[in-house]
Amino acid sequence: MLTERLGEYHIISGRINDIAWDGDSQRIIAVGDGRERFGHCITADSGNSVGEISGHSSIINSVSIRQQRPLRAATGSDDSSMVFLHGAPFKFATKLAGLHKGYVYGVAFSPDGSRLVSVGADRRIQLYDGKTGEATVQVGEGEHKGSIFGVSWAKDSKRFVTASADQTVKLWDVEAGKAVQTWHFGGDGNVNIPDHQVGVVWPAGRSDGIVISLNLNGDLNYLSEGSQKPVKIVEGHNRSVTAIGKSEKGQTLWTGSFEGRVCHWDIPTGVGSAVEGQTHTNQVSAFANTPDRVYSVGWDDTLRIVDEPGKVFVGETSKLAAQPKGIASAGGRVFVATLSGVEIFFRDKSVGKLAAKDYTPTTIAATGDLVAVGDEANTVHIFTADSSHKLSPVESLKNSTAQITALAFSPSGALLAAGNSSGKIVVYDTKSWEVVTDRWSAHTARVTTISWNDESTHAVSGGLDTNVFVWSLKMPGKRVKAPNAHKDGVNGVCWVEGSTKVASVGGDAAIKIWKVENLQ
């Protein structure tokens, strides 16, 4: 479903750290790191200025707007101060400096507007009068042992929660001035940086009392009063997703990201989780699979194995001879293209190598006993693998005018699609190696990924131009397009649920599922 974009407005010249709506849903204040100013207030429907966000001398980290009239706003900054503003239009009223001794990371008005709270790097929790901005009391002194990064109020305005680098989320009773519950993360007692809690929200629309915290790893923890452990953890990627794969049974997606994290996703429900065990320490490059195994390669120059039913890394890590450029599987064998050649694995063991003497591999694909390897010299090298796992050359395809960057055999094995760095895709017949079509050329930048549907009638591709295209063999001049599918480029695509949907990943750290219609 597509929704209408109501407007796009330039707020500040740099990163936006926080935004807040007023109680009428008419005004927005956005704050962050800008050159001319650190924040601005606009009307949501037109983008017109509604006051000035001033008073700070450094980056603003947080903003909150009182939801009742008279309108008030508060901002917290790296300059260790909290600024109180009157509105609308919003204008500077008071600057409270000296209370916090470090960066102010969070400010929040209570839902009834009677109170305001600020938290920061000095572990201080400071309360204020919500109408005047006058400082009232400090609560919980010494309770948190690390910087406090977030704060959020309960709907009753009598309680709030805080999230801290000490790996805890605390629930506070305002009247009593003390913490009434603490959720601890990283139960081994050691300091585990990914368990630092960097954000928290008490969703106003929920009636079950659930609090949601965010850790440094990008995981969402669903917390319930009275329960010491999260009732649910939502895991995913918070860096560029660089690879995608699909299980042979077709119900699970595998994704890997820039920092080496590997996640698995249930396609029908969209629920995902990180794979347990020792993961990659650097960018995940590609996936391949056999019926009960999933194989991944990464820039830590390793091949790692996941037991698909158990969703856990197993066995020993295989060290590769050089940086991997791609991985493919066929006939129970796994082929890894590296900068120095092709490495062959069978039953999780290395069984052979093919040195690339006069070219540098860039990508790889396999089907049956055929293996295709692309190179930097615009050539696709075709090999056959015999029973002893030896690769023998069959053909060299030199139709490309640019470096080969993506290869994919159709499920039937009858076709091979080869994409290059200039955005063009050529399809070959694998019996004659004649060109079937060279009209798939709508990408304006490097083709990064290609995948065929189950019927071998259509292929989907993604490129650095941020676009996803679905191509037809029957009508090669026509295509279905998803423009600007992923900011900073599309890194992986695959078909899901037959020929009705496509999954894609990219530089925006998102996994997207697209419904494909109007296929020719």
Task: Indicate if the pLDDT at residue 143 is higher than 60.
Answer: yes
DSSP 443: -
- pLDDT digits over 237-288, tens only? 989 999 999 998 778 999 999 999 999 999 988 888 999 899 999 999 999 9
pTM score of the predicted model: 0.81
Q: How far is CA 410 from CA 56, 413, 428, 504, in A?
A: 59, 5, 10, 18
Cβ atoms of residues 124 and 137 within 8 Å? no
Strands (E) in 267-385, as ranges, are 272-274, 284-290, 293-298, 302-307, 312-319, 324-330, 333-338, 341-346, 349-355, 361-367, 370-375, 380-385
Q: Dihedral sign for Cα 357, 358, 361, 364, please.
A: negative
Predicted local distance difference test score (pLDDT) of residue 319 = 96
Task: Indicate if the pLDDT at residue 520 is higher than 80.
Answer: no
DSSP states of 470-482: EEESSSTT-EEEE
Between 325 and 4, the higher pLDDT residue: 325
Helix, strand, coil share (%) of the chain residues, nearest 5: 0, 50, 45
For the chain, the domains span 16-234, 323-398
Predicted local distance difference test score (pLDDT) of residue 188 = 62
Predicted local distance difference test score (pLDDT) of residue 294 = 95
Mean pLDDT of 430-437: 97
Nearest to 392 by CA among 323, 450, 453, 342: 342
| pLDDT confidence band for 220 (50 / 70 / 90) | very high
- pLDDT digits over 86-112, tens only? 988 999 999 999 999 999 999 999 999
Between 5 and 245, the higher pLDDT residue: 245
Mean pLDDT of 406-420: 98
Predicted local distance difference test score (pLDDT) of residue 498 = 78
Predicted local distance difference test score (pLDDT) of residue 189 = 61
Mean pLDDT of 435-458: 97
Amino acid at 139: V
Task: Indicate if the pLDDT at residue 1 is higher than 50.
Answer: no
Considering 118-122, 193-197, 292-296, the range whose residues carry the highest mean pLDDT is: 118-122
Nearest to 287 by CA among 322, 317, 242: 242
- pLDDT digits over 334-352, tens only? 999 999 999 999 999 999 9
Q: Which residues contact 357 (CB under 8 A, 6 or more apart)?
A: none
Between 123 and 88, the higher pLDDT residue: 123
Rounded CA gap, 504 and 520, in Å? 21
Q: How far is CA 119 from CA 83, 102, 280, 510, in A?
A: 13, 10, 36, 31
Mean pLDDT of 140-148: 96
Mean pLDDT of 468-481: 94
CATH number of 323-398: 2.40.10
Cβ atoms of residues 265 and 277 within 8 Å? no
Mean pLDDT of 419-424: 98
Task: Indicate if the pLDDT at residue 175 is higher than 80.
Answer: yes
- CATH fold, domain 16-234, is Methylamine Dehydrogenase; Chain H (2.130.10)
Cβ atoms of residues 306 and 274 within 8 Å? no
- pLDDT digits over 188-215, tens only? 666 788 899 999 999 987 778 899 999 9
Between 75 and 290, the higher pLDDT residue: 75
Q: What are phi and psi of 193, to 5 degrees?
A: -55, -40
What's the chain's average pLDDT?
Answer: 94
- pLDDT digits over 356-408, tens only? 989 999 999 999 999 999 999 999 999 999 999 999 999 999 989 999 999 99
DSSP states of 139-207: E-TTT-SS-EEEEEE-TTSSEEEEEETTSEEEEEETTTTEEEEEEE--TTSS--GGG-EEEEE--TT-S
Cβ atoms of residues 295 and 316 within 8 Å? no
Name the token pair of 44: 């949501």
